[in-house]
Amino acid sequence: MKIEEILKRCDHTLLRQDATSAEIVKLCDEGIRFGCASVCIPPCHVRGAKQYVGSRLPICTVIGFPNGYNTPNVKAFEAQDALRNGADEIDMVVNLSMVRDACWDDAYNEIRQVRTFTEGHILKVIIETCLLTEEEKRMMCSVVSASGADFIKTSTGFSTGGATREDVRLLRECCEAHVKVKASGGIKTLQDAEDFIALGADRLGTSRIVKLAAELEEKEVPAAPEENPTQTPAAPEGKTPDGPAGESGR
């Protein structure tokens, strides 16, 4: 797979707590330059980033992040605030306490409450696969499929693990066709990216793929020829470097 095709599926991501405005600008520049699906950034940077990129690049942000235990009303407010500030896409963390307690109706209602305020925008639901049993993952595929969300997403990248091939395969198999899969966390190589896409991921949450693309681009740039100040200049026609033709210097 061409790296350009992989980059089109990447949410170029920077969610570190101390990310600076300058780093966000750099992330946006890279996202535009490499044709990424979006940049995924902290909510506090959304307004400035949207003003900077305009319509050149979608802005994605996170709510209930990274732990997911905010109340549904708080998550709904976060989503509305992010959209007012210019976010195009929302990645929400599901309430994992509800999941572990098998409160499936509550988990569904929480997602529906956020969906109510995000109609017309892409909504991704992070289920933190590394913390769930296989049965819980299957149940969340059903919940997300019924909720009206656009994506199910593997991970925040802030817990005990990121996306795995097994989990991406499971989510794709268990979700209804209208729900897309986002693999996030631990995507370090182009092979990782290709594998996740082949297994059914439509989006990749990563910063590494852009770095690899930049490195490949640098390798492809031909090196400038070295100047040699001692090189003898070419002689004009009919002359040798040391005098008229036939009088080569010795």
91 catalytic per annotation: yes
Give φ, ψ of 165 to 5 degrees: -60, -40
153 catalytic per annotation: yes
Say if 229 falls within a structural domain.
no
Q: What is the pLDDT of residues 172-209, one digit of tens each?
A: 999 999 999 999 999 999 999 999 999 999 999 999 99
Say if 152 falls within a structural domain.
yes
Give the integer Cα–Cα distance in Å for 240 and 245: 6
Say if 230 falls within a structural domain.
no
Among residues 124, 153, 167, 180, the one annotated as catalytic is: 153
The number of domains in the chain is 1
**pTM above threshold 0.85:** yes
DSSP β-bridge partners for residue 60: 40, 89
Q: What is the pLDDT of residues 26-60, one digit of tens each?
A: 999 999 999 999 999 999 999 999 999 999 999 99
Say if 244 falls within a structural domain.
no
Q: Show contacts of 211-216: CB within 8 Å, 24+ apart.
A: 212/3, 213/3, 213/7, 213/34, 214/30, 214/34, 216/3
Among residues 50, 167, 182, 192, the one annotated as catalytic is: 182
Say if 130 falls within a structural domain.
yes
Say if 69 falls within a structural domain.
yes
Q: How far is Cα of residue 129 from the mean position of the Cα atoms in its chain? A: 18
Question: What range defines the domain where residue 35 resides?
Answer: 3-222
Say if 13 falls within a structural domain.
yes
Q: In the chain, what percentage of residues exceed pLDDT 90?
A: 86
Find the CATH number of the domain harbouring 75. Answer: 3.20.20.70
Element (H, E) at 100: helix 96-100
Say if 125 falls within a structural domain.
yes
Among residues 91, 150, 167, 192, the one annotated as catalytic is: 91
